[in-house]
């Protein structure tokens, strides 16, 4: 299995000083789903954005490398980087509405992607858009092509975005909390779909979530991030059965299980929250 994504010693820092992500290394191999899990504010999105080259202005990568199929993305010229994005590296966003242009029909947005990245003709692109909507199990794909995003449900919009992410047969897809904005039942369907699609296409996925239950459902490998640092890493079986880090155990205890009634959920105890807050403060304090 060859490596698609090879993040080594990544440090993401604020330009005015202080670090958001420290010395993170993780690898995603061909066809694998790698879960990046951690509490809100842990730095998951910063890692995803570092790979996609879309960090906020106040933030930069200060050390480390982001290898993509053997090339360090950080050393690429903006032009070469843009050529990879959307074609070799695609993303599925958290909020399907932000990923779509509200004023354009689905067909225009899908065919743009296909025409721009794959140089397809209008007719060819329309045919492929239709085929992609069928592949993500959208009923009445002809009708959906002519709709505007607001005319579709959240789950349907996410299916469209999944179709678009896979449209160019990328080697890597970054999915940042792709099911967080959805109802629980829809969430399960979308997770299953992402897993089916990535298996069928052999795509490597970096799957970002705060929910260890979601990770357990679809990931092969997992990295647990806590206040910007890796606290645990390994195969999903290994991490779920031998979680050594206290934080991972707390995260596991707080993970809702679909097979249990809601009253059997264990919320994160206040003591754990306090420990996390203290740890975060110490962590901030350590940084200049």
Ligand X SMILES: Nc1ncnc2c1ncn2[C@@H]1O[C@H](COP(=O)(O)OP(=O)(O)O)[C@@H](O)[C@H]1O
The nearer residue to ligand X, 59 or 76, going by C-beta atoms, is: 59
CB of 257 to ligand X, least distance (A): 22
Shorter beta-carbon distance to ligand X: residue 167 or 208: 208
- Regarding 40 and contact with ligand X (CB under 6 A), the answer is yes
DSSP per-residue letters across 63-131: EEEEEETTEEGGGS-HHHHHHHBTTTEEEE-SSTTTTS-TTS-HHHHHHHHHHHHH---HHHHHHHHHH
Q: How many CB atoms within 10 Å of residue 216?
A: 18
Euclidean distance between CA atoms 43 and 51, whole angstroms = 13
Residue 45 vs 223, nearer CB to ligand X: 45
Among positions 42-101, residues that touch ligand X (CB under 6 A) are: 42-46, 56, 58-59
Binding window for Mg ion (CB under 5 A); candidates: 11-19, 44-52, 102-110, 127-135:
44-52
Stretch that binds ligand X, among 37-45, 91-99, 112-120, 239-247 (CB under 6 A): 37-45
Toward Mg ion, which CB reaches closer, 109 or 187?
187
- Nearest-approach distance from CB 44 to Mg ion, in angstroms: 5
Spatial strand order of the sheet with 3-14 comes to 19-29, 3-14, 59-68, 71-72
**Which of 32, 45, 223, 227: binder of Mg ion (CB under 5 A)?**
45
CA distances from 80 to 73, 88, 207 (A): 9, 11, 25
For Mg ion, the binding residues (CB under 5 A) are 44-45
């Amino acid at each position: 299995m060859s490596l698609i994504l090879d993040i080594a010693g990544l440090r993401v820092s604020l330009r005015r000083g202080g670090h958001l992500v420290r010395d993170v290394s993780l690898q995603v191999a061909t066809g694998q789903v790698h879960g990046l899990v951690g509490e809100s504010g842990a730095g998951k999105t910063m890692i995803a954005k570092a790979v996609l080259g879309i960090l906020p202005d106040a933030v930069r990568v200060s050390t480390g490398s982001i290898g993509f199929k053997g090339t360090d993305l950080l050393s690429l010229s903006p032009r070469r980087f843009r050529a990879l994005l959307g074609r070799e590296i695609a993303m599925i966003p958290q909020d399907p509405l932000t990923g779509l242009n509200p004023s354009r029909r689905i067909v225009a947005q899908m065919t743009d992607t296909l025409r721009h990245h794959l140089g397809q003709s209008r007719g060819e692109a329309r045919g492929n858009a239709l085929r992609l909507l069928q592949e993500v199990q959208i009923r009445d794909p002809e009708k959906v092509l002519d709709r505007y995003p607001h005319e579709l449900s959240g789950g349907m919009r996410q299916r469209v975005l999944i179709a678009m992410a896979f449209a160019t047969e990328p080697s890597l897809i970054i999915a940042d909390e792709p099911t967080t904005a959805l109802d629980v039942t829809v969430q399960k369907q979308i997770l299953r779909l992402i897993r089916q699609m990535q298996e069928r296409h052999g795509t490597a996925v970096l799957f970002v979530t705060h929910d260890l239950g979601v990770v357990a459902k679809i990931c092969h490998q997992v990295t647990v991030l806590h206040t910007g640092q890796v606290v645990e890493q390994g195969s999903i079986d290994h991490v779920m059965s031998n979680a050594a880090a206290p934080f991972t155990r707390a995260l596991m205890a707080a993970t809702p299980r679909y097979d249990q009634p809601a009253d059997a959920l264990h919320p994160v105890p206040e003591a754990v929250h306090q420990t996390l807050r203290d740890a975060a403060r110490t962590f901030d304090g350590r940084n200049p």
